[in-house]
Amino acid sequence: MNMNNDFELKINKLAKDIINSDSRIIGIRGVSGSGKSTLLRNLEGIYCGEAIYFDSSIIIFEGSIEENILMGRKISFELNPLLKEIFFYEARLQDKNFYLDRGNISTGQSQRIGIIRDIVDSINRVILIDEPTSALDYKTSTEFFNFIFTNLDKFCIKKLIFTSHSSFQDKRVHFFDIS
C-alpha cells in the first residue's frame, strides 16, 4: 500500500515538473518497469485533450510508405519535401510508392515510419511517445532524433515528450530520470 502511494507520489511530482518545464523537448529516462509509460499516460490525462499518447506498438500494413505515414491525412509528399528527408539514408524507402508488406522492411524501418506517422500532423499538440527508438541502434536513433528536433515547427509539435531507456544524449532535450 505504501509502495503504491510512494510510486504515485513520485509519478505525480515528475508529471508536475515536466508540465512546468519550459523545454520543448523532454525525455524521460529509466529502466524497464520504472513507470515511464504510466507517467506518459498520467501526462495525457493532465493535458486533457491537448496531448496525444502513442504507445510503442508499430503496425505496418500492406500499402505504400505514403499511405502508411499519412493514413488518409491530406499532406502530399510533393508539398512537403520534409517527409522525403526522413529516409535520406535509404534509397528504396525514399520512393513513396515502395509497397510495404510484413516481410520487406526491418523493425527499425517500421519504427521510423511509425514515429513519423504519429508526429507528422501534430496540429500544435503535445506529443507523448513511448519508447520511440527502442529498435534503432545508437547512431540511427541519434540521426533520427536530430531530424525530428530540428523540424519540430514543421511538424507543428507544441511539445515533444518521449521515454527512453537508452543512454541517448542531446543538449536540446531536458531529461527527467525515473528510477
Partner 1 sequence: MYTINLLKYLSKQTIYLGVVSIFLSVIAAFIDIYFAISLNNNETISILLYIGVLRFLLGLLFIWFFIKFSMNSEINMKELTLNIDDNEKRINFFNNYSISIAHILLTGWVRIFSETLVLLVLSSIIFIKYLEVIKLIIMPALITIPLLALYFFALKNSRKLATKEQLNYINHILTILPIIERARIIGTVHFIRDKIINTAKIYKIAYARSIFFALSTKPIIEILVLIAIIYFYSNKNTIEPGLIYIGYRVLGSIYSVFNNLPIVFHYEQQLKQSGL
Contact positions toward partner 1, by CB under 8 A?
Answer: 52-54, 59, 61-63, 71-73, 101-102, 117-118, 121
Q: Nearer to partner 1 by C-beta: 75 or 178?
A: 75
Least Å distance, CB 54 to partner 1, is 7
Q: Nearer to partner 1 by C-beta: 77 or 175?
A: 77
Helix residue ranges, H only, 71-173:
82-86, 91-94, 107-119, 138-150
Q: Nearer to partner 1 by C-beta: 54 or 87?
A: 54
Least Å distance, CB 142 to partner 1, is 26
Least Å distance, CB 17 to partner 1, is 26
Q: Which helix (H) or strand (E) element contains residue 164?
A: strand 157-164
Q: Nearer to partner 1 by C-beta: 11 or 70?
A: 70
Least Å distance, CB 130 to partner 1, is 13
Q: Which helix (H) or strand (E) element contains residue 120?
A: none
**What's the rounded Cα separation, in Å, for the pair 30 and 18?**
15
Q: Nearer to partner 1 by C-beta: 160 or 173?
A: 160
Least Å distance, CB 177 to partner 1, is 28
Helices 36-47 and 2-20, axial angle in degrees (round to 10): 60
C-alpha grid cell for residue 172? 536540446
Q: What is the DSSP string of 19-69?
A: HH---SEEEEE--TTSSHHHHHHHHHHHHTTSEEEE-S-----SEEHHHHH
